[in-house]
Structure 1
């Protein structure tokens, strides 16, 4: 019996898509915050939890955005948030084997998309200000 069913292949492709979107979002965000090397952040941040944690928790703080986020940046942020939310939700409701998680995760991802869209739109209000709630 082959474990690579179409549902598992779709789940694996979706993981790669969300992983790529996280790098694209970090690249956009680093560029908007004046980084000299946003592509370096975009490449290395998704590779390890250490780099993305450093970027999100230390480097990004205290550096205001120089311009408002574009529609593409907002879309990548939605995909990344829905991907992380779907990963957590799928891991909680599916059995602990990878095949089941890869088949459950796309459904959880789709369910998290509206919530992620709402969060991103709330965070970046109509004026594009990231600090609207502060």
Structure 2
């Protein structure tokens, strides 16, 4: 029996999609915060968890946004939040083998999308209030 079933292939493709969304969101956010090289942040952050943690916990904290988030930035943030939340939920409810996790994760991702939408909507605030935008 082959381990690469259509469900596993879809889960793997979704992992890549979320991975690209992480890079896009970091790129959008770094650009809005005045980085000289937002593309470098966007490439390195999803590749290295250390760079992503440094970006989220240290670099972006001292820099305020120059402009409110666009609809594309909000959309990528929703995918990123739902992706990470789905990964946590999927790992808690599925057996520990990667094949099972890749089949459960897309369902968990889809279930986390409404919550991610709500979280991102509250954090970004559709009116563009900069005090709320600085918190994310």
Provide TM-score, normalisation by structure 2: 0.95
Question: Higher helix share goes to which structure?
Answer: 2
- Per the TM alignment, residue 127 of structure 1 is displaced from its structure 2 partner at its CA by 1.9
**Equivalent position of 2:82 in the other structure:** 82
Partner residue in 1 for 2:11: 11
| Counterpart contact for 1:123–1:130, Cα < 8 Å | no
When normalised by structure 1's length, the TM-score is: 0.97
1:130 shift after superposition: 5.2
* Residue 102 of structure 1: aligned partner: 102
1: distance between equivalents of 2:111 and 2:48? 26
Measured against aligned partners, the alpha-carbon deviations of 1:77-124 in whole angstroms (never above 9, x if no partner) come to 000000000000000000000000000000000000000000000001
Runs of 4+ in 1 over 2 A off after TM superposition: 129-134
| Structure 1 alignment gaps of length 5 or more | none
**Number of positions where the alignment pairs a residue of Structure 1 with one of Structure 2:** 134
With over 3 angstroms needed to count, the CA separation of the structure-2 counterparts of 1:37 and 1:100, relative to structure 1, is same
CA–CA distance in structure 2, aligned partners of residues 132 and 54 of structure 1: 21
Aligned to 1:24: 24
Which residue in the other structure is 1:33 paired with?
33
Query: In structure 2, what is the equivalent of residue 73 of structure 1?
Result: 73
